[in-house]
């Protein structure tokens, strides 16, 4: 065979390999988006499940379930409520149940029908099955599952908190109705339009009766309500407060109050340990809807639309109340400003931030977990792995220990380098940036070692011995 023939065959082989790779490998993964999920359970309530899972979400992250209102959908609530912003910022998965006109003429959750609001039945069980699926598939922390909803979704949130206090650590009832208020459509309309006037004990008994004998701990519940709501009588917010303070065995007199943006008054009802158990947010002049506040600031979120009203970002304050921002709770102190990484070593990160008036101390959080407390406006976190990235936030605490809003996050990477190993197909090694391909063949980045054909079928282990430098380590990876 001539040199020309051999060269021609080599060229054709390379071209064939390239074509094979193009037709046998999938497209690279896209950024996180709202995705419909099927097969999550027996689904007796005939609901649809949609999920939003931020890229690279670690196992053990929290889970938030968000229920849309009447005439709305999962995608509508996803696009307007602002929850995806905080899922990305704080690191948690979102589940958006969806009902349709086949279940209810106005696409409302059936919070007033016994076959749907009873534990272990109908729509309530379908939502519980979505939680079970998410915990299994996304590795969600079973102790940090929360639920929120607007209008009929808010009423269904109250139902789920009453039915499954063993599942939910907290909830937020937005322009909704207390659990157990209605047993059919007629009584549902009565609850919606008029004060029902039960005592706190009677409201609490409805939760205790729905829960299947649960004795605690109970979910921590936020209640949002506009004073100009003509669709859901604002008295429902008071009755929801009475219900959950009674369940917790605490007073209906607030432990503290605060004025928030958008004409909002926050009332806090502490448990016996001094931690907020129930909070109400009364939005002056707001009609029926979910409070949002479009903008790029940390406490702004969402977009306006039908039933999405520009007052205050309710999702931000609800996430804080649940401790999703890493603060572990809420107080009235503002977030510290100017959080800055002032230095790094192989095993430490130094931080500084601006002072907050009336702050007695500051809590420092690494990747959402509290790692220290200091009275000063600087802190050095030690004992870290070299060559590793970490995410930090800081929150001020007052003299009673109540923690305020968390700062914007900063990231810091320690110096030095720790070798890492990656076992994957040649195609995925290229997609991940650990190797490159040329004419259908793959080579390790840095060392340029030959790895074989560019496809999903050839697999190698690569060791990253320094940043961006990879060597083949199929016989054993010391890292």
CATH of the domain at 348: 2.60.40.10
Q: What is the pLDDT of residues 307-319, one digit of tens each?
A: 999 999 999 999 9
Q: What is the pLDDT of residue 417?
A: 73
In contact, 470 and 440? CB cutoff 8 Å? no
Q: Are residues 403 and 423 in the same domain?
A: no
332 part of a folded domain: no
Q: Are residues 308 and 351 in the same domain?
A: no
**Domain end residue (candidates: 356, 382, 413):** 413
Q: Name the 3-class secondary structure at 408.
A: coil
Q: Name the 3-class secondary structure at 64.
A: strand
Q: What is the pLDDT of residue 328?
A: 62
Q: What is the pLDDT of residues 391-425, one digit of tens each?
A: 898 988 877 667 777 787 888 989 887 788 999 99
Q: What is the pLDDT of residues 125-169, one digit of tens each?
A: 999 999 999 999 999 999 999 999 999 999 999 999 999 999 999
How far is residue 450's CA from residue 473's CA, in Å, rounded to a whole number?
Answer: 12
Q: What is the pLDDT of residues 435-469, one digit of tens each?
A: 999 999 999 999 999 999 999 999 999 998 877 89
Q: What is the pLDDT of residue 16?
A: 39
Q: Give the CA distances from residue 418 to residues 39, 73, 376, 386, in Å, rounded to whole numbers and listed in that order.
A: 41, 46, 32, 6
Q: What is the pLDDT of residue 393?
A: 87
Q: What is the mean pLDDT of the chain?
A: 89
Confidence band of 51 (pLDDT split at 50, 70, 90): very high
Q: Are residues 271 and 152 in the same domain?
A: yes
Q: What is the pLDDT of residue 416?
A: 81
Confidence band of 298 (pLDDT split at 50, 70, 90): confident
Q: Are residues 64 and 171 in the same domain?
A: yes
Q: What is the pLDDT of residue 31?
A: 54
Q: What is the pLDDT of residue 331?
A: 55
Q: Are residues 121 and 107 in the same domain?
A: yes
Confidence band of 294 (pLDDT split at 50, 70, 90): very high
Q: Which helix (H) or strand (E) holds 153?
A: helix 152-163
Q: List the Cα angle 331/337/342 in 5-degree steps.
A: 125
Give the CATH number for residue 276.
3.40.50.1820
334 part of a folded domain: no
> By percentage, how much of the chain surpasses pLDDT 70?
91
435 part of a folded domain: yes
Confidence band of 202 (pLDDT split at 50, 70, 90): very high
302 part of a folded domain: yes
Q: Are residues 71 and 18 in the same domain?
A: no
Q: What is the pLDDT of residue 332?
A: 59
Q: Is the pLDDT of residue 370 over 90?
A: no
Q: Are residues 215 and 262 in the same domain?
A: yes
Q: Are residues 146 and 254 in the same domain?
A: yes
Dihedral sign from CA coordinates of 151, 153, 157, 160: positive
333 part of a folded domain: no
Q: Name the 3-class secondary structure at 316.
A: helix
Q: Is the pLDDT of residue 7 over 50?
A: no
Q: Are residues 56 and 181 in the same domain?
A: yes
Q: Is the pLDDT of residue 343 over 90?
A: yes
132 part of a folded domain: yes
User: What is the DSSP code string of 180-237?
Assistant: TS-SSHHHHHHHHHS-----HHHHHHHHHHHTTS--SPPPEEEEEEETT-SSS-THHH
Q: What is the pLDDT of residue 396?
A: 87
Rg (C-alpha) for the chain, rounded Å, is 27
- Non-local CB neighbours of 357 within 8 Å, separated by 6+ positions: none
φ, ψ at 289 (rounded to 5°): 160, -175
Task: Residue 428: give the domain boundaries.
Answer: 1-28+419-479
How far is residue 93's CA from residue 139's CA, in Å, rounded to a whole number?
Answer: 10
How many Cβ atoms are within 10 Å of 111's Cβ, its own excluded? 29
- Non-local CB neighbours of 329 within 8 Å, separated by 6+ positions: 275, 276, 321, 323, 402, 403
327 part of a folded domain: no
| Number of domain units in the chain | 3
**Domain end residue (candidates: 413, 436, 452):** 413
Confidence band of 335 (pLDDT split at 50, 70, 90): confident
How far is residue 168's CA from residue 202's CA, in Å, rounded to a whole number?
Answer: 22
456 part of a folded domain: yes
Looking at per-residue pLDDT, the higher value among 337 and 304 belongs to 304
pTM equals: 0.67
Q: Are residues 157 and 18 in the same domain?
A: no
Q: Are residues 105 and 251 in the same domain?
A: yes
Looking at per-residue pLDDT, the higher value among 332 and 63 belongs to 63
Residues annotated as part of the active site: 151
Q: Are residues 105 and 129 in the same domain?
A: yes
**Domain end residue (candidates: 288, 322, 356):** 322
């Amino acid at each position: 065979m001539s040199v020309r023939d051999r060269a021609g065959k080599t060229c054709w082989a390379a071209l064939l390999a390239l074509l094979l790779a193009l037709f046998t490998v999938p497209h690279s993964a896209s950024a996180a988006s709202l995705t419909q999920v099927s097969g999550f359970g027996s689904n007796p309530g005939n609901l649809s499940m949609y999920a939003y899972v931020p890229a690279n979400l670690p196992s053990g992250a929290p889970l938030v379930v968000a229920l849309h209102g009447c005439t709305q959908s999962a995608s509508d609530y996803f696009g307007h409520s602002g929850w995806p912003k905080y899922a990305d910022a704080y690191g948690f998965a979102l589940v958006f149940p969806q009902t349709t006109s086949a279940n209810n003429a106005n696409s409302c959750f059936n919070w007033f029908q016994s076959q749907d609001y009873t534990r272990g039945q109908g729509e309530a069980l379908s939502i519980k099955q979505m939680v079970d699926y998410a915990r299994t598939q996304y590795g969600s922390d079973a102790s940090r599952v929360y639920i929120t909803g607007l209008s009929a979704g808010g009423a269904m949130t109250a139902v789920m908190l009453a039915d499954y206090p063993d599942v939910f650590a907290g909830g937020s009832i937005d322009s909704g109705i207390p659990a157990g208020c209605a047993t059919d459509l007629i009584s549902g309309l009565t609850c919606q339009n008029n004060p029902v006037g039960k005592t706190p004990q009677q409201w609490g008994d409805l939760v205790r009766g729905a829960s299947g004998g649960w004795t605690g701990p109970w979910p921590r519940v936020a209640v949002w309500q506009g004073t100009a709501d003509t669709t859901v009588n604002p008295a429902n917010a008071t009755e929801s407060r009475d219900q959950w303070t009674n369940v917790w065995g605490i007073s209906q007199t607030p432990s503290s109050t605060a004025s928030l943006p958008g004409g909002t008054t926050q009332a806090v009802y502490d448990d016996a340990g001094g931690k907020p158990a129930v909070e109400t947010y009364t939005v002056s002049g707001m009609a029926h809807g979910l409070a949002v506040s479009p903008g790029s600031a940390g406490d702004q979120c969402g977009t306006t639309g039908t039933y999405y009203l520009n007052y205050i970002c309710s999702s931000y304050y609800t996430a804080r109340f649940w401790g999703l921002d890493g603060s572990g709770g809420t107080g009235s102190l503002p977030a510290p400003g100017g959080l800055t990484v002032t230095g790094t070593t192989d095993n430490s990160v130094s931080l500084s931030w601006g002072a907050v008036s009336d702050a007695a101390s500051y809590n420092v959080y690494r990747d959402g977990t509290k790692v220290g407390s200091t009275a000063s406006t600087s802190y050095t976190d030690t004992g870290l792995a070299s060559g590793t990235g970490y995410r930090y936030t800081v929150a001020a605490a007052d003299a009673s220990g109540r923690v305020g809003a968390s700062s914007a996050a900063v990231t810091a990477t320690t110096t030095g380098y720790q070798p890492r190993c990656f076992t994957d197909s040649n195609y995925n090694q290229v997609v991940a940036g650990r190797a490159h391909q040329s004419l259908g063949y793959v080579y390790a980045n840095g060392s340029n070692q030959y790895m074989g054909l560019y496809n999903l079928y050839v697999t190698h282990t690569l060791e990253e011995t320094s940043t961006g430098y990879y060597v083949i380590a199929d016989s054993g990876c010391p890292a």
